[in-house]
A = this chain, B = another copy of it.
Amino acid sequence: MNKPPIFKRLCLIGIGLIGSSIALRAKRDGLAETIVVSTRRKETMDRARELNLGDVYTDKVSEAVKNCDCIILCIPVGAYAAIGERMAEHLSPGCIISDVGSVKRSVIEQLKPHLPENVHLIPGHPIAGTEYSGPDAGFSTLFDERWCLLTPAENSDPKAIDRISSFWKALGSKVDVMGADHHDRVLAVTSHIPHLIAYNIVGTASDLEEITESEVIKFSASGFRDFTRIAASDPVMWRDVFLHNKDAVLEMLGRFSEDLSRLQRAVRWGDGDLLFEHFTKTRDIRRGIIDAGQEIDKPNFGRDVTED
């Protein structure tokens, strides 16, 4: 790559699936002169070093952020306020503070009070991931063709927005800018509720008295196994998502339950027309997702179809 690096000194706080994927792509394509990796657990730090994810490693946030022109928090959203407080005094003027958290209003509320006036808070959320976590789970192409949403705080500097936006594009993403509250409502329905439901049904299935766990596992290919993938996602990350997007989650859950009652009633009363009509409508959305390049165009996600 002949392009100059976008950042001189990029700090990644947290080096799990997302942090390590940013590091791998930034290194591969020379997007930052220096990458500082900061993480709390010694085991994770050692592994990050072995994987050669950064140039500088430190478990001290106050050290890590010094002289950086961009800091990206890649940790569960429940930890932001504490990190914000610890880094506040050590930030360079003009530094971009961003993140990859799945909720955005809470991020602004947690960080804003701690930050000096002369830095740029531009939260971000790459719509990308897998059910695996930790520094070994990352890969440099994770963000390719996926959307990254930026939710800049009010009165953010357009130049700073452009800069972090060009960084995400260089990571492979398409970028969209929206308000934090709108983000939280959209993601409540496209992500948070699906996760809560998946976690829930996997729990329901494993609690049945007369059906063994082995039966649930054996016959999972009938639909259930798709839910178990989502329900294998990182528990700490997801606990924090629900605690920090409470209002939107509860509202969308209310709508989900109302709609489910309608289908439940149709089952009870044998209303086949209602069921058929509903089941027909939902096919189009799938087609739209495939056409938008957000899904593979193969049966069963292409996973177990061996054509012959």
Interface, chain A (partner B; CB < 8 A):
28, 78, 102, 127-132, 137, 139-142, 144, 146-147, 149, 176, 182, 185-187, 189-208, 210-211, 213, 215-233, 235-236, 238-240, 242-243, 246, 249-250, 252-253, 255-257, 259-260, 263-264, 266-268, 270, 272, 275-276, 278-283, 285-289, 292, 294-296, 298-308
Q: Is the interface of A mostly helix, strand, loop or mixed?
A: helix
Number of copies: 2
**Quick one: given A190-B219, A219-B149, A288-B217, are A243 and B260 in contact (CB under 8 Å)?**
no
Report the minimal beta-carbon distance from A114 to chain B, rounded to whole angstroms: 22
Q: Are B304 and A296 in contact (CB under 8 A)?
A: yes
**Quick one: given A139-B307, A239-B275, A242-B267, are A289 and B189 in contact (CB under 8 Å)?**
no
Closest 3 CB pairs of A and B: A130-B299, A191-B222, A235-B279
Chain B: CB-nearest residue to A192: B223
Q: 14 A–B contact pairs at CB < 8 A? A: A140-B308, A141-B307, A142-B305, A182-B210, A190-B220, A194-B222, A201-B256, A204-B252, A204-B255, A218-B292, A226-B230, A228-B286, A246-B267, A253-B267
Q: Are B194 and A224 in contact (CB under 8 A)?
A: yes
A221-B227 Cα distance, complex, nearest whole Å: 14
Q: Are B255 and A294 in contact (CB under 8 A)?
A: no
Q: Which of B28, B141, B189, B268 contacts A224 (CB 8 A)?
A: B189
